Amino acid sequence: MIIVANKRILDFIDFLNRNYPLEEEIKVTCLHGYDAVMDDETDGHGFAVYLPEQKYILLPMEIPENVKEEALKDPELERDFVIHNLAHEYCHAIQDKNGDFEKYGVEKLDDYADKFADGAVAKFNLEYNSIKDEKGEIKND
């Protein structure tokens, strides 16, 4: 059996398309086995990235070790890490479409993308009632 991503990611992509539709096609590449991508412009490592020229989002699927450590205190952080990053990068695609890249600095764009991702993930979790199951335990998939 071949799969492109787990069901939670696919459900979240469907959620983004329904709630924040974008006419333009944005292609997501799910990088299984990766927990970072290299950013050309800053030469630094980032988790995910949106490439405006190609209209691609490169999305690593593994949780970085430092996030796993933090998630010991907050399991939702680990569960939502990948979809939060996907929402953040998708917001950059929306900003790109709106011409915001020329109007605002990176910091402001990133701030807004984080807020967008916070809101989208919270709404998704409510909609899918996936914050806690009947036993009060956090579901992972």
Residues that bind Zn ion (CB under 5 A): 110, 113
Query: Virtual CA dihedral for 101, 105, 106, 110, nearest 10 degrees?
Result: -90
Q: Which of 35/110 has CB closer to Zn ion?
A: 110
What stretch of H or E contains 94?
Answer: helix 75-97
Shortest gap between Cβ of 136 and Zn ion (angstroms)?
A: 34
Shortest gap between Cβ of 108 and Zn ion (angstroms)?
A: 11
Report the residue number whose CB is nearest to Zn ion: 110
Shortest gap between Cβ of 66 and Zn ion (angstroms)?
A: 18
Shortest gap between Cβ of 129 and Zn ion (angstroms)?
A: 29
Q: Which of 103/132 has CB closer to Zn ion?
A: 103
Q: Burial of 105 by CB count in 10 Å (0-12 exposed, 13-18 middle, 19+ buried)?
A: exposed
Q: Which of 57/113 has CB closer to Zn ion?
A: 113
What stretch of H or E contains 51?
Answer: strand 49-51
Q: Which of 29/130 has CB closer to Zn ion?
A: 29
Q: Which of 66/129 has CB closer to Zn ion?
A: 66
Shortest gap between Cβ of 8 and Zn ion (angstroms)?
A: 22
